[in-house]
Amino acid sequence: MFFKYRFFAFLNLTLQFVCFFSFGQQINIIPKPVAVEQRVGAFKINSKTQILSGTKSALASAGFLKTYVKSLTGLNLKATQTAAVAKNGIQLLIDPVKVKHAEGYELEVSAAAVKITAADGSGLFYGLQSLIQIIKQSKTGQFSVPACKIIDYPAFSYRGMHLDVSRNLFSTATIKKWLDMLAFYKINTFHWHLTDDQGWRIEIKKYPELQRTAAWRNETLIGHKRTEPHLFDGQRYGGYYSQEDVKDIVAYAMARKITVIPEIEMPGHALAALTAYPGLGCTGGPYQVATYWGVFDDVFCAGNDKTFAFISDVLDEVITLFPAKYIHIGGDECPKTRWKVCPKCQKRIKDENLKDEHELQSYFISRVEKYVESKGKKIIGWDEILEGGISPGATVMSWRGEEGGIAAAKLKHQVIMTPEKYVYLDYYQSHDRSEQIAAGGFTPLSKIYQYNPLPAGLKADEQQYILGVQANVWSEYLPDAEKAEYMIFPRIIALAEVAWSKNETKNYPDFLNRLNHHKRFLQQFNYAESNKDITGSIDIQHLQYELKTDLPGATIRYTLDGTYPGLKSAVYTKPLAIMGLLNLKALSFINGAPNGRVFEQHFSKSLATGKTVSIKNLPAGNFAANKQVLVNGIAGTYLYNTGEWLGFSGNDLEAVIDLGITQQVAEIGIGLLNYHWQKMWAPDRLTFEVSEDGENYQQVYKQTEFKVEGINRIKQKINPVNARYVKIIAINKGIIPKGEYGAGGNAWLMADEIIVN
């Protein structure tokens, strides 16, 4: 029965903390309801309180509530199926006439009774989650619910979290623990990424080598992928979920109104499968399950009918395990290198009258989609499935940005927004040096919370195709549950409010206040509190540096000499002039006690700092920052998405700094980022030139080799020369070479702080 499910282990853990606190009458529900009306009084839960389920379909929820109340209070309440209204009763009703929105509910609490009316079973379940969140305990041990009326329903029908188990596995017990929390915050979809280059994680009985071979890799990369040389642990790693495990997880999720969508990657990210069955690749192998992270040229052969027979057989078993109407087939990051020289793939292109390898990928996806639809299911794919022409009934998951989702919606395809810039939980959530290793981007709690899944580029009639939003948990740098939880919580709770609550009602300080009251539910997790951190931002126009904390009631104290801030340190009251800064440290204090982590920012002043910069080509994409960041005194770090790096896609950097007056120049420098794993390449050539009049330049330095895989800090002494203008020219690599990640595409040229002395 429902109440036997493991959710109550979660409840028992969190309730240990509920029992010691009283939180007054505040209605601290997350996600924020559509409407909350606070009333006078409270409903007291005692031994005579009854749970009344108005319909047979509400019985499961009644059993759930009964077990919860017993865990919390020790009271064994009587649960009855009756439509009658009783004093001192908690009544559960399903009435789609009264509550018209799917998954919606109304919660009414008076001193006499509690009543939850829902549109459907999901709405009733979500109403119970809200009820649980506002049960209070007084200092005398009395349990009560504040009087109120809540009207609530979701803004989006799709509210999801993705979990990659291919790079690192998590136990079924851990997944259940996380599912409990997703359900608690009304997230209704679990996207289970089961196959990739680094491991095949689902049992397929017809293909036993997937379990024996594809599920295991010889060793695993140690540290970050950007670190050279790569180091490995030498330990065989792997495992998979049996079909019984899968059934268990699916049933567990279903009882919590969560749909599980499996992802079986194709045609790329197939190296693990090819290792087990090399005949499915273009070269015939041999192949090896990937031991590090990235994109690999070896993919499923699109010209081989055996490939489609294999995929059909796999999907046959997958479909029987997952009741969801969707099957996710990946479709992302599929290099065309092998297809371009594979006789079978080239024959397929000719036979099917396809234009090129991009249309071959579209053919591949369409063929799989037809098979999936013949089984009564629909496909979801990452936004690359738009390339070469999208399959007719495909739903697009837009991850590279919002552009794919916008394009798909304009074509009247359903869309799930999951842009990496806003909702990737494997990205850093703080700039603090103590943060655990992460993928590289920057996604703080506030950034996720402020995201709006409805892009401004869509008209009102096009917005209807946006089904919802999802946060993605890629596990390359999450080797265990503890590290994963630190990245997931509480950011997934912010995502839950983005997905459920109307955008116009969101309020970040209010959310943080409610989240503070929810810490009792997070005690069993290794969760981050990065929202306590101080953040810094620069006002380039006025050359000022601003500090900010989201911590209510906090005072910021700071030092400029690198010493630890204390109660005698200066109080931050207004932005600080950059020209007066060297080594800034700041710390939040509440009631005289330090709270959070020390914030640090080093400033490098030079003759160029704050001077006017002009550039020939505009920066692009996520790296289109203000050109003045090149001379703001702050050097970019290995976190390349912090706004301190300018990025040029396929274009050269040509920047001119006007020093204001002619003066002697003896040193010029710049930072360049060389991360091939992110398509970021050092320039083919770097030159420094100087001029007194801005017309006639002389070259004073040239460099063509950049040996550091990471940040190349060039700081070159030159023969002293009089100059007012300094020109930096960096020639972009252009097209990424064959055999490298992103081969055939534009290289990114990444530049940061320019130094002139």
Which residues are catalytically annotated? Answer: 196, 269, 333
Distance from C-alpha of 90 to C-alpha of 44, rounded to nearest angstrom? 11
Distance from C-alpha of 23 to C-alpha of 426, rounded to nearest angstrom? 33
Q: What does the H/E/C string look like for 237-263?
A: EECCECHHHHHHHHHHHHHCCCEEEEE
Distance from C-alpha of 435 to C-alpha of 411, rounded to nearest angstrom? 41
Preceding peptide of 31 cis, ω within 30°: yes
Kindly provide the residue ranges of all beta strands, DSSP E only, lying in 286-355, ordered along the sequence: 326-330
Length of the chain: 757
SS3 label, residue 367: helix
Nearest-10 crossing angle of helices 305-321, 357-374: 40
SS3 label, residue 463: helix
Amino acid at site 547: L
Structure tokens belonging to residue 605: 């002043």
**Bridge partners for 114 per DSSP:** 90, 109
Distance from C-alpha of 132 to C-alpha of 667, rounded to nearest angstrom? 65
Q: What does the H/E/C string look like for 3-68?
A: HHCCHHHHHHHHHHHHCCCCCCCCCCCCCCCCEEEEEEEEEEECCCCEEEECCHHHHHHHHHHHHH
Distance from C-alpha of 397 to C-alpha of 424, rounded to nearest angstrom? 13
Distance spanning both ends of the chain, measured CA to CA: 74
Output the CA torsion sign for 347, 348, 351, 352.
Answer: negative
Q: Over the range 731-754, which residues count as b (16 or more CB within 10 Å of their CB) and which as e?
A: bbbeebeeebbbbeebbbbbbbbb
From residue 82, how far is each of 63, 68, 477, 482 by CA, in Å?
Answer: 14, 20, 52, 45
Any idea what DSSP says for residue 532? G
Structure tokens belonging to residue 5: 């499910």
φ/ψ of 397, rounded to 5, equals -105, 110
Distance from C-alpha of 489 to C-alpha of 652, rounded to nearest angstrom? 40
Cβ 161 vs Cβ 259: under 8 Å: no
φ/ψ of 738, rounded to 5, equals -60, 140
Parallel/antiparallel/unpaired status of strands 544-549 and 576-577: antiparallel
Any idea what DSSP says for residue 425? T
Neighbours of 440 (CB within 10 A): 20
- Which is nearest to 596 in space by CA: 565, 574, 622? 565
Query: Distance between alpha carbon 40 and the CA centroid of its chain, in Å?
Result: 41
Query: Distance between alpha carbon 288 and the CA centroid of its chain, in Å?
Result: 29
Preceding peptide of 509 cis, ω within 30°: no
Neighbours of 611 (CB within 10 A): 17
